[in-house]
Amino acid sequence: MNGAGGGRGARPSEWVAHRLGVRTVDGEAPGGVRLGDLVGLAVRRNPRRAHLLVSGVLGKHVPADPRIVHGAGLLLGELVRLRLRGREGSAGAYGPLLANALHGTRGSAAALRDRLREPKGAVDAVVIGYAETATALGHSAADALGGARYLHSTRRQVPGVVPYGGFEEEHSHATGHLLLPADHADLDREVPLVLVDDEMSTGRTAFNTLRALHAVRPREHYVLASLVDVRGEADRVRMRNLAGELGARIDVVTLATGRVELPPGVLDAAQNVVAELSGRDPEIDYRVDRGAVRVELGWPAGLPDGGRHGFAPADRRRLDKELPRMASILSSALPADARRVLVLGTEEFMYVPLRVAEALADALPWTSVRFSTTTRSPVLAVDDPGYAIRTRLVFPAHDNPTDGPGKRYAYNVHPGNDAARGFDAFVLLVDERGDTPDLVDGLLGCLRTLAPVVLAAVPGPGR
């Protein structure tokens, strides 16, 4: 996972293993790659959990080729599709493509994506992704099912939209989740329900979600899907007991399994490391202004800007048709000499920026296009090749969040001590609610000190 570590020869988990004794141990590899190839390690700024598993294929903390991000999600969805059809799925021929993509083999990320987006036969289901990290992952998994309707949870209350339900994410810094479908009937259909998250560490979030959703609308079949599953045996037993209690089948699908070894006293040790190394964010010279260009994407009327209120197969087909045109608009606005471009989404707004980044990468084959998104999650940054979060930008929230103002972060965007990791240009995509003066004074201002920025806002529902 070269992208997470930023340098060949150093795995992005070595620093945490050396300093805190936290280690990942590989298990089974249904997706054709091992746990240690999919994730690195970082230290959380969170007293409830010491470590963070940092995925190289999620498109959140680590800039990655958008085709491997979409491809990994499609692969997870393909394993779900096989399970829903009563078959035990494995990566098969896709595994080597994913492994090669992770190692940077040219053309492998596009090949993985292209092989997986070929029609495999539609499967009907309701797919729910978790905010904020798994909104694009869940959407990509739903893409692979062909006939699924997609919804992601949200921490953003929306006036006039009645919640379907809510649940808690116990270890998170921001725990409350809402489900806000535009049409509750989409969730009430008698079809399997698929919950998608980037990782299952204990399974408590999925446990809470299943209880809450089953109380509203009991179902016979649930599937839990994640990139990695590091649950212990007690957590697995707890989930099996829940299946018996609910009288439902609960399947688990993942690309890789394993475990995380945590030494005694790791929470206190992690907080000591955070206290020791805090305040070492890269210096930003705000006198530098490399400018920003705002463009209009010509967003199609009535097309949802993501899965916050639901996304149907017909919406996906419509978006697929429009993506090359939008990529052309963005490519014409980029500096002619830009060879490394980062497309940056914001928090829950991940899927549309991911698909736009994917189309841009296809349109500019000789340009290195990468994708990541901003986040609420506070993580320690250490500019070391053996650490997964090398640098961070800190800026204020810009979407008038329900829970009030707060800090937000963009990781591995600033080049830090290695100029070769820098980007020549940024494409910043925001949803309509995030297009505010705070964006201009905060995140946009940070990015403009590093490279020219192309900014595009996607209209919200009803526009």
Q: Measuring CA to CA, how many Å separate 6 from each of 59, 70, 247?
A: 15, 21, 47
CATH number, domain at 436?
3.40.50
Same domain for 340 and 193: no
Same domain for 315 and 247: no
**Residue 193 φ then ψ, to 5°:** -115, 130
pLDDT of residue 278: 86
pLDDT of residue 67: 98
CA-to-CA distance for 272 and 322, rounded, in angstroms?
A: 50
Same domain for 301 and 253: no
Is residue 303 in a domain?
yes
Same domain for 81 and 188: yes
Same domain for 232 and 299: no
The per-residue pLDDT for range 279-313, each reduced to its tens digit, is 888 888 888 889 899 999 999 999 999 999 999 99
- The pair of structure tokens assigned to 301 is 């009327």
Same domain for 250 and 321: no
The per-residue pLDDT for range 197-252, each reduced to its tens digit, is 999 999 999 999 999 899 999 999 999 999 999 999 999 999 999 999 999 999 99
Is residue 96 in a domain?
yes
Same domain for 217 and 332: no
Domain boundary among 244, 261, 278: 261
pLDDT of residue 431: 96
Same domain for 218 and 316: no
- The pair of structure tokens assigned to 33 is 């790659």
| Residues lower than pLDDT 70 in the chain | 1-9, 89, 165-175, 462-463
Is residue 266 in a domain?
no
Range of the domain at 251: 66-261
CA-to-CA distance for 68 and 146, rounded, in angstroms?
A: 19
Same domain for 298 and 250: no
Quickly tell me which residue has 């240690």 as its tokens: 36
CATH number, domain at 177?
3.40.50.2020
Please give the tally of structural domains in the chain. Answer: 2
Quickly tell me which residue has 């419509």 as its tokens: 318
Same domain for 327 and 249: no
Q: 19 near 29, Cβ under 8 Å?
A: no
Q: The dihedral of CA 114, 117, 40, 235: what is its sign?
A: negative
CA-to-CA distance for 134 and 227, rounded, in angstroms?
A: 10
Same domain for 239 and 108: yes
Instruction: Work out whether strand 368-374 and strand 340-346 pair parallel, antiparallel, or are unpaired.
Output: parallel
Helix (H), strand (E) counts: the chain: 15, 17
Give, for 113, the enclosing helix (H) or strand (E): helix 108-116
Q: 200 near 229, Cβ under 8 Å?
A: yes
Is residue 32 in a domain?
no
Q: 189 near 151, Cβ under 8 Å?
A: no
Same domain for 296 and 254: no
pLDDT of residue 168: 53
